[in-house]
Amino acid sequence: MTYDDSLAALRAVAARERADAAINPDCWSRSLLHGKRTADVVILWHGFTNCPDQFVELGQRFYDKGYNVYIPLIPRHGRKDRMTDALADLTQAELKMSGLEALRIAQGLGERVNAMGLSLGGVMSAWMAQAANIQTAVAISPFFALPWFSRNINDYVARLMLALPNQWMWWDPRVKENCKPDHAYPRFPTHALATLMEFGEGAFKVAQTAPPLAQRCVLALNAKDPAINLEVARQLWEIWRGRAQMVETFTFTDLPAIHDIIEPTTYLQAPDLVYPRLVDLMLRANGDPMPIPPQHHA
């Protein structure tokens, strides 16, 4: 795919999203381009119930380093109505098709395709690492499992949630629909959560029979993350270890007990404490000897 082909595909995505009156313009897919094909392009995947606006500031950091940047809107996210029920019917097929479309676009934007994402976006990056011949995949706090269950029990819980009637859960029951940021949904359906868990489990099943196609796989975790099972995330990287050219894990030990360490409107210190280290993780993974900045204590 040529650079011009990718520009045409980006215009088609833009036309599709702008034609959908239900989508919040702040949540349209974003691209930061240098006007030509660059050595590296990075796909930035936003988190569950959030939208591309979450990654715009971090995307600018990569753009400033010479990357072309693409921040896609994941299906059923980014609606103007924050109380929408659009996520209720989210499917694994939609997630995979979104990943393949972003990959096709990115292939014309850079010689080397890289992926980075948070939570659901982290699982998208891990799925791309397993399924696509990309350069580097960085998964930030990927949501493979709930924090209280082992991987086997988590798989059972996911199937149970899908069998039971769909339930809507508040991210913060104290403020309910007033939960920030304004471009993200304040609640989520249990069926969609279970779909994410099964999507992540699919990466494990493939990993047990085939090595990842990505050249480098990086896992970035917050040691105090209250929302995911850190050990399950590490297990996938252990399966990959020795199979990819480079498999690396990095743990933030100085961050608060929060899951979303990217959203700058709810974690004001993210641009100073998190973004520089994530950029350097990617640069180092792609051959830049630049050291990761020392940890700062909030």
Q: In what order do the strands lie in the sheet with 38-45?
A: 30-32, 68-71, 38-45, 110-118, 136-140, 216-222, 246-252
More confident residue, 145 or 293: 145
What's the whole-number average pLDDT of the chain? Answer: 94
Is the distance from CB of 106 to CB of 250 less than 8 angstroms? no
Instruction: Identify the three-state secondary structure at position 167.
Output: coil
Question: What does each C-alpha distance from 177 to 84, 88, 89, 267 come to in angstroms?
Answer: 11, 17, 21, 19
Please give the model's pTM, rounded to 2 decimal places.
0.94
Superfamily (CATH H level) for 3-285: Alpha/Beta hydrolase fold, catalytic domain (3.40.50.1820)
| Residue 109 scores a pLDDT above 90 | yes
As beta bridge partners, residue 249 has 219
Residue type, 96: K
Distance CA 123, CA 244 (A): 17
Instruction: Identify the three-state secondary structure at position 76.
Output: coil
Per-residue model confidence as pLDDT tens digits over 208-259: 999 999 999 999 999 999 999 999 999 999 999 977 778 999 999 999 999 9
pLDDT at 292: 42
Domain boundaries of the chain, sorted by first residue: 3-285
pLDDT bin (cut points 50, 70, 90) of residue 194 is very high
Instruction: Name which of 153-167, 188-202, 234-248, 259-273 the model is least confident about.
Output: 234-248
pLDDT bin (cut points 50, 70, 90) of residue 288 is low
